[in-house]
Structure 1
């Protein structure tokens, strides 16, 4: 078990040979422990546990239970503390701990007199391991100890642990634990769909259906009929063509656009949770003709299996069944051809649906073994049916690293207020953020920001604490910005580049002290990257994730200062809201010196005068309410991502996946001012490559003004004659300018203002939008509004 962290996924981007394959050997299990949270799992005599401090300086509290009582004899280590962390979590009324309370109650654990084994210290290094052995059968609870409500003023956020369990008897575990995810509630019915078969079943309106891929990489066709119609002899089944048409999508997506309809436009089911997020929405279920044309006569197929299962319900047999094929990995390639590859699904991945009417359903475990559809090895599917009282929140599964455990989309601390105002949310980097608010709409939200004030939830931004005697030196090496010039209380915007100069991310760097920084960016990988460089260079730093401890709203617009002036209190040694200069921040509190802690920065993503306010998630609702009260006479309006995109495009602000990606350098992304190649003497990652790229750029970021009302789209080519000379990165119909505009990466030879170009629609040749090159930004070129 040497180098457990390196071999089993606590280091970033391990090499995955095939999607969906187990990344751990048989008998090895992994249990993630979120910072400030806990995990519960059974252990058996002889099992070996390895607890990994993923980011360093994180105390682990391990508590053993035998027959429900805390028992110090479960592990071969003497307890050295009381289970205070566990008792604190159980006493918390936080919704984030409700699942833990349910699991502890489910196991019948009594932590009253329990003692714990405390592992690691504040000085433990990233990836440090500690090992234990179970001496008997019992239950283990591991807590990532720490103040779950740590102040945004400090940098003591609890971070993640990972527990690996090497089973002494894998056979026993497989016999007692069926390899399925824990039920979401007590199931009404459990159905095992054996490989190469199908099962029909009925559900009532409001009940829930969970389709589980037992071993991973196994496709499962799903079809449903309105029972009321079948009883009258009318067949109305789920129709994916109707659904795609009504939803305007080519593939399923949990959230608002998640319903599936029949040909009468009646909704049958709604997808509420999806841990895989990769399914087929195009083709028929496999059928005899497919196998016959491949030379496999008489091969078992989902269509015949459906026909047999549905016959007792009076459903007419078909030669090919339309269906929703969960876990089937298909795509349309650049030649408009349907392609397939191995599924992405891992063991235990599932889709959770809710019946919107009484249904007859059928689910298959696809028998296809002649292509990659089931990883060349068909396996079982498991179906659970739950009663209507199941409380399941909408969420999508995502993995921070290729072999990480799945995490479900989270709600921000502001969600209790934003969800009361809108149901239109976008999944953004693992969080639900409002797209717009129906009582206003994106255009009104936009104008509120331009003319008065707007507030937007941006809590999905990733935050990392970088601390220690070498923190400045590490960041000076990792960022193109001259970090040594950043003063305490200052914020600096910077790209984060690979060694070839390509951008992996951008973000803002807060300097909280001489050796204390906070990096706010878009991706989790930024923290991994910084840790990799710190380890490789021998830097004495601690890098801790703080996203779950720091949620934030942006308050933007001409009236933003007046609103915050009413509710923000600062110490005499901190600048007030009125004194706060651009790219500076203040340590603050809400209303008075005993109020909830805040950090207020003079930053934003709109091009307007604005601020960002950071708080702990537990204080988010209070902050939102105080902002609404203070802004009631200032026109403060909640704003979603759609309006924010309009504002940032007009302001010429770069967005990941649009203006830059791994192949784009800061000069091509229009933020070359962040790379001081002449004034920064210290070496930094990508310096040599960026010097070469600066002298011979392949593309310039420019603006386009479109000569009609039609809007360009991201990814469309920009042409001079038949020659493509660039690509549109972002585009919008600008409300303030009254015309369609775009940001574009363009060849230097054509990047001069006034150059006539054309945006290619359709195939780029058969339809064109004429345009002229203009400077960036389109609106407020001197950024006077932001500096006001």
Structure 2
């Protein structure tokens, strides 16, 4: 029998014409139009989440009977949110009690209705754990959905048009206006070029320039992704990327050409370059056989030898890129006709363009997805973002959240010194938080984490690794014991919650893992004066440790200033190697917390801290970072945190134990420190050599202001990992330039941790 290709492609559920998926965010309401015969499945994704449903007929009257449901005395959330009159019937509750993760209910609609579906919930204080969580909804229409379906406009549309495969269109956009390029059905490429309107009026062609754009963005070679800004030949900005729901494009390769198809034997094939030339003809722009273009949604894989391999795009139905014009422009967009390779998923489809007025405002954002088939989530802003955005414009998308890299009036070195000498404060709200509750919470965590969780007392914090069965690390983080059956996991990986939930289901455990990242935001307050600062604004009740007596890796519950203040949680933890704390609050209380911190801290020399300075601080302290010191191929021993894997003293089994026993007995690499000679710095990924052979790789590196040295963390072959050995960091190709370095312990600052324990 011939073999057929059947790869697993979970993201393509969105192309299914027979059903559609929706997400109901915690505390929000979803509205859907249902027809007679439509089927609905509502899923409690994380468990323990009520689901409330209201149905209205064409006249706006209650119609729960269409779904064979009745109003419930507890179904008051939707009515309260929408301010319905008191005599309006309550909504229906789809279930009650402690539902397990994945619990669902199916409904069949008997007449046309407007459906309101809610995931009831609200403000949950930081010292409580019953968080609202999302619902997943599958809608199966009685009649198959007609594709394509365009996403809702982002604002009032000035103009819009559809480009069918093998077509292109020129259009004018004025400075400040927005361009939304939409991939209607997913996996479809669109090339884009732009020219200066005033220059064209004078007979000049000033266009987007790939070399200028790459140079001004600090990149030597083209590669996957988008630049934040695009420049013309005169080094003037033409466009900026405002939102991108894909994250994978190829910037400034040639649009497809006639020559490409001819070389494959397809003579006369439609191509984007000729289409662009025809679209520009009315503007007096000379035709070209190949146009350098922004290649939206196009996906090439660049191998280790800089060879390009084409693959199917990452884009799904409705994905888009939103651009803002920084000049008056003439633009051309295409829908690529390529059907001879994977560039358009083998099936070219439509591209849709929408133009929005300059008066509109859109937040800058990109998207992340926890899993391949998850809904896209735009870059989020913490409760402290409005404050920090007044102090700096230098933000980076850190794992789906905007965090500052440095501040306007300080900069990397001053922020670093403030932490080492006085006190500094940083937004760490991007950390992922999960509430783990239920009678089997301890058993689950003891099985999933490398630490012996049974030894953890209420009010204590422990640092641990979360490993896969093969011993590679999924994440690292801290676990707080809130009560006998209550824990809070704080790490860097969204998928950790899904992983814990999957293990609980596999083991048949009675435990719930609830996402809490949206309702718990936190500041790190670090430095020698951090205790002196915080004791002036943290009030604690008699049954909780005071700020002055709080021990290392302990936490306390309290309030801001006094008994009437907003609830806070303070842990004596940090990521700098200094005496320090983290303050945890609800985002609604962020502004109040910051105001009091600034009032007390500014006279003490408190300085806001960005990611750049934090990186130097944590490297000096030998603290590891995901994607640098560890990944899913790195075990805790190789990552330098073998101390959190008590193989000899933890009696119970845990995920990865067998693999870690083998890895610890036969280590191949070890995390070490390097002190480089001279003043040239190493970079993440630099090879490390002994003679001609590569024996290691730099994981993180910085110039230490305190030590006056260039230092690095390095994953090194165990044969060369003894302190005092000399190795060489390879630059250029690794052979033509070497920097001598001496192996040392991977903790450069306060190796005995006397300061953090003070």
> Mind listing any 5+ residue stretches in structure 2 that lack a counterpart?
1-5
2:582 pairs with 1:612: yes
2:142 pairs with 1:168: yes
2:133 maps to 159
2:329 maps to 359
Rounded to whole Å, the distance in 1 between the matches of 2:472 and 2:128 is 33
2:748 pairs with 1:778: yes
8 Å CA contact retained: 2:17, 2:146: no
Which among 96, 104, 109 is matched to residue 134 of structure 1? Answer: 109
8 Å CA contact retained: 2:685, 2:697: yes
1:708-753 superposed Cα distances (whole Å, 9 cap, x missing partner): 1111111111110011111111001111111110001111111001
1:381-440 superposed Cα distances (whole Å, 9 cap, x missing partner): 000111112221000011111011111111111111011111111111211111111211
8 Å CA contact retained: 2:225, 2:248: no
1:113 maps to 88
8 Å CA contact retained: 1:20, 1:345: no
1:620-668 superposed Cα distances (whole Å, 9 cap, x missing partner): 1111111111101111111111111110000000111111111111111
1:470-521 superposed Cα distances (whole Å, 9 cap, x missing partner): 1111111111111111110000000001112111100100001111111101
Q: 1:159 to 1:368 in 2, by over 3 A?
A: same
1:669 maps to 639
2:352 maps to 382
2:115 pairs with 1:144: no
Which among 70, 86, 89 is matched to residue 78 of structure 2? Answer: 86
Which among 46, 63, 66 is matched to residue 55 of structure 1? Answer: 46
Rounded to whole Å, the distance in 2 between the matches of 1:228 and 1:24 is 42
* Structure 1 residue 461 displacement after superposition: 0.7
1:446 maps to 416
2:366 maps to 396
* Structure 1 residue 218 displacement after superposition: 0.4
2:3 maps to none
Range that drifts further, 222-231 or 134-143 = 134-143
2:279 pairs with 1:309: yes
8 Å CA contact retained: 1:49, 1:131: yes
User: Segments of 4+ in structure 1 off by > 6 A?
Assistant: 109-112
- 1:265-664 pair list within 5 angstroms: 265-664=235-634
The secondary structure found in structure 1 opposite 2:78 is helix
Q: 1:429 to 1:416 in 2, by over 3 A?
A: same
Range that drifts further, 631-640 or 129-138 = 129-138
1:72 maps to 63
Range that drifts further, 411-420 or 116-125 = 116-125
2:105 pairs with 1:124: no
Rounded to whole Å, the distance in 2 between the matches of 1:367 and 1:110 is 55
8 Å CA contact retained: 1:72, 1:78: no
2:733 pairs with 1:763: yes
Rounded to whole Å, the distance in 2 between the matches of 1:251 and 1:746 is 29
Which among 41, 46, 54 is matched to residue 32 of structure 2? Answer: 41
* Structure 1 residue 153 displacement after superposition: 0.7
Rounded to whole Å, the distance in 1 between the matches of 2:15 and 2:336 is 25
2:179 maps to 209
8 Å CA contact retained: 2:224, 2:299: no
8 Å CA contact retained: 2:63, 2:113: no
The secondary structure found in structure 2 opposite 1:582 is coil
8 Å CA contact retained: 2:424, 2:607: yes
1:740 maps to 710
* Structure 1 residue 365 displacement after superposition: 0.2
Q: 1:333 to 1:476 in 2, by over 3 A?
A: same
8 Å CA contact retained: 2:521, 2:587: yes
Q: 1:706 to 1:87 in 2, by over 3 A?
A: farther
Q: 1:615 to 1:335 in 2, by over 3 A?
A: same
1:106 maps to none
8 Å CA contact retained: 2:15, 2:185: no
8 Å CA contact retained: 1:496, 1:503: yes
Number of equivalences: 750
TM-score (normalised: structure 2): 0.96
Range that drifts further, 693-702 or 76-85 = 76-85
8 Å CA contact retained: 1:446, 1:643: yes
* Structure 1 residue 19 displacement after superposition: 7.9
Q: 1:331 to 1:239 in 2, by over 3 A?
A: farther
8 Å CA contact retained: 1:77, 1:132: no
The secondary structure found in structure 2 opposite 1:450 is helix
8 Å CA contact retained: 1:288, 1:299: yes
TM-score (normalised: structure 1): 0.93
Rounded to whole Å, the distance in 1 between the matches of 2:733 and 2:59 is 66
8 Å CA contact retained: 1:195, 1:380: yes
* Structure 1 residue 25 displacement after superposition: 3.1
* Structure 1 residue 22 displacement after superposition: 3.4
Rounded to whole Å, the distance in 1 between the matches of 2:588 and 2:543 is 27
Q: 1:713 to 1:68 in 2, by over 3 A?
A: farther
Q: 1:672 to 1:112 in 2, by over 3 A?
A: farther
Rounded to whole Å, the distance in 2 between the matches of 1:90 and 1:552 is 31
8 Å CA contact retained: 1:72, 1:79: no
1:28 maps to 19
